């Protein structure tokens, strides 16, 4: 499997040189298998416009899987020229909540937008997805309800039979309770979704200080996400859905104090992480848009899964 992070921001896009290191587009991850073009796209934020370049001039043939229907996960859909193509074949699957096409039309129709979903060129289907196991373009996908304010939200656990990753773009764990650190509960649904995966891509929108003021917004703090990675024994963790206000330098400084060697971060407990193993190691990176290797903290933004390892 090959994962390309085409958008890593949350809420709204960001523009300016201070955002260059990690990129300014909103949520979108392209997934390809067997060296082929991407056939599965996770979320359709503004980053989906970059997927067209990955198709090599060919129309998109596959599935767009949305975690939720907020603007930062849908706004790029009509601008994805690889799919808005007479020869495309596109299935848009979303957490079930009534007539899927009609729900999407509420955010994509006049007077708010010139066309409706039915006017996109190509062969388009719109499906509502229920929790559980699904076969999606040759991949095994498990959909799980995850707490997030303002509509239904799914986290996804995806496997090609060799490697497995989990994608949780938005997560408000505080809705499940305060948890051991006051940052949200490590509840059963998220633990089962993330347990033992080769890679966890997870909401890390806020620092602890920001979270204290915005806990009701429905997102996670960096410290919660790292704690989840440790508790769920994931092999690699990618911090995702970064706040649009956080520039490169501020985001880098938001890290807890780790000792770093070849991209492995050893967590040093702070007062809010009492009881967390201080000698636990977790390969961790900050999601960066369309970068193969930025530095030791972001070396896993474009990943290939072979029989033996993630690169």
In tens digits, the chain (311 residues) has pLDDT values of: 888 888 877 666 666 566 566 667 788 999 998 778 899 999 999 889 889 999 989 999 999 999 989 888 888 999 999 999 999 999 999 999 989 999 899 988 999 888 999 999 999 999 999 999 999 988 999 999 998 877 788 999 999 998 999 999 888 888 878 888 888 889 999 999 999 999 999 988 777 777 677 667 667 888 888 888 889 999 888 887 676 566 544 444 444 433 322 233 333 333 344 434 333 455 555 554 443 222 222 333 333 333 322 32
pTM: 0.80
Q: Report the alpha-carbon distance of residue 2 to residue 171 in Å, rounded.
A: 24
Q: Report the alpha-carbon distance of residue 292 to residue 284 in Å, rounded.
A: 15
Instruction: Return the closest-CA partner of residue 23 out of 297, 174, 248.
Output: 248
CA dihedral 15, 17, 20, 23 (to 10 degrees): -10
- Tell me, what's the pLDDT at 174? 84
Domains of the chain and CATH, by start:
2-304 (3.60.15.10)
Instruction: Return the closest-CA partner of residue 154 out of 166, 137, 140.
Output: 166
- Tell me, what's the pLDDT at 1? 84
Instruction: Return the closest-CA partner of residue 263 out of 300, 211, 231, 229.
Output: 300
């Amino acid at each position: 499997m090959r994962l390309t992070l085409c958008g890593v921001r949350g809420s709204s896009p960001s523009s300016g040189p201070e955002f260059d290191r990690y990129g300014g587009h909103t949520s979108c991850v392209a997934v390809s298998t067997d060296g082929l073009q991407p056939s599965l796209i996770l979320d359709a934020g503004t980053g989906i416009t970059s997927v067209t370049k990955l198709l090599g001039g060919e129309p998109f043939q596959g599935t767009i899987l949305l975690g939720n229907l907020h603007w930062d996960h849908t706004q790029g859909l009509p601008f994805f020229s690889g799919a808005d193509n007479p020869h495309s074949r596109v299935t848009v699957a979303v957490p079930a909540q009534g007539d899927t096409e009609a729900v999407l039309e509420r955010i994509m129709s006049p007077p708010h937008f010139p066309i409706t979903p039915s006017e996109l060129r190509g062969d388009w289907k719109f499906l509502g997805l229920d929790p559980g196991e699904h076969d999606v373009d040759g991949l095994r996908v498990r959909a799980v309800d995850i707490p997030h304010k303002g509509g239904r939200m799914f986290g996804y656990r995806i496997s090609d039979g060799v490697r497995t990753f989990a994608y949780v773009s938005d997560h408000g764990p505080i809705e499940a309770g305060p948890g051991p650190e006051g940052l949200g509960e490590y509840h059963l649904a998220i633990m089962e979704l993330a347990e033992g995966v080769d890679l966890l891509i997870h909401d890390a929108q806020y620092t602890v200080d920001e979270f204290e003021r915005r806990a009701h917004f429905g997102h996670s703090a960096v410290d919660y996400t790292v704690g989840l990675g440790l508790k769920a024994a994931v092999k690699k963790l990618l911090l995702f859905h970064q706040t649009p206000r956080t520039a490169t330098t501020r985001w880098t400084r938001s890290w807890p104090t780790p000792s770093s060697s070849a991209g492995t971060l050893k967590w040093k407990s702070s007062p809010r992480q009492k009881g967390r193993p201080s000698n636990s190691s977790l390969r961790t990176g900050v999601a960066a848009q369309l970068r193969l290797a930025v530095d030791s903290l972001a070396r896993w933004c474009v990943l290939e899964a072979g029989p033996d390892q993630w690169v």
